[in-house]
Amino acid sequence: EAGVAQSPRYKIIEKRQSVAFWCNPISGHATLYWYQQILGQGPKLLIQFQNNGVVDDSQLPKDRFSAERLKGVDSTLKIQPAKLEDSAVYLCASRPAGIGGAITAGELFFGEGSRLTVL
């Protein structure tokens, strides 16, 4: 079974430029997450999708970050314009839907991440 695919693996841009990251979750996984992991810290949730709808984007800096999941499969995360503090690894994760929306112990499957450096 193929894992969560992310691209690009590395990206270096200057501040105020824009960047986009792509994620292809595991086939059949209804729920998709974007996490931001700043060096030395744990991942922080940016946005959660259930199929193609947004479930939680409360921690997404909406003035510069946007994300979409058209057709409920692939997702893109965009940053425009980038700031120095956006330097981080952007992790995509997916999991299958729980039965009836119940909380399950279902594992989140993470991609290898996209490392962004903003100069």
Quick check: 51 binds another protein (CB under 8 A)?
no
Quick check: 21 binds another protein (CB under 8 A)?
no
Q: Which of residues 59-98 bind another protein (CB under 8 A)?
A: 91, 93, 95, 97-98
**Considering only residues 12, 28, 54, 56, which one is a binding residue for another protein as defined by CB under 8 A?**
56
The one-character DSSP state at 101 is: G
**Considering only residues 41, 53, 70, 71, which one is a binding residue for another protein as defined by CB under 8 A?**
41
**Considering only residues 42, 53, 70, 71, which one is a binding residue for another protein as defined by CB under 8 A?**
42
Quick check: 26 binds another protein (CB under 8 A)?
no
**What does the block give as tokens for 88?**
């981080």
Q: For residue 92, which of 5, 27, 15 has the smallest C-alpha distance? A: 5
**Considering only residues 48, 67, 116, 118, which one is a binding residue for another protein as defined by CB under 8 A?**
48
- Which H, E and C letters describe 52-100, residue by residue? CEEEECCCCCCCCEEEECHHHCCEEEEECCCCHHHCEEEEEEEECCCHH
Q: For residue 4, which of 25, 18, 22, 20 has the smallest C-alpha distance? A: 25
Residue 29: φ, ψ to 5° = -80, 120
Residues in contact with another protein by CB under 8 A are 4, 31, 33, 40-45, 48, 55-56, 91, 93, 95, 97-98, 101-108, 110-113
